[in-house]
Amino acid sequence: MSAFTISLFLSIMGMAQLALGMDRHHRQFWEHAATEASLKRYRRSGWGFLLTALAPCLIDWGWAIGLIAWSGALTTAQICVTLLLAATRPR
């Protein structure tokens, strides 16, 4: 598995949790409301995953190109999560 695949996987996990940390998408996906505390946990963990996703890129490419690859992974992950949300539970 290439470093980028790992980074993309982590980014998708992170973006998914950021989405679930938003009241609207939490209701959309789980079909029930969440407490503010659990939303916060989702968001915090989501940011953690996104930051972790930087690591494989840095190991494979170093800082200069790694940051570009990371932002590419974030872009792809955001689109994937948005499409998944729209496909699984359309509003």
Binding stretches for other proteins (CB under 8 A): 2, 4, 15, 18-19, 22, 24-25, 61, 64-65, 68-69, 71-72, 75-76, 78-79, 81-83, 85-86, 90-91
Measured between alpha carbons, how far is 43 from 79 in angstroms, rounded to an integer?
18
Residue 55: partners with Cβ closer than 8 Å, 6 or more residues away:
7
Contacts of 57-64 spanning 24+ positions with Cβ under 8 A: 57/3, 57/4, 57/7, 59/3, 60/2, 60/3, 60/4, 61/3
Q: Residue 52 or residue 76: which is nearer to other proteins going by CB?
A: 76
Q: Residue 54 or residue 69: which is nearer to other proteins going by CB?
A: 69
| Minimum distance of other proteins from residue 24's CB (angstroms) | 7
| Minimum distance of other proteins from residue 47's CB (angstroms) | 13
| Minimum distance of other proteins from residue 68's CB (angstroms) | 6
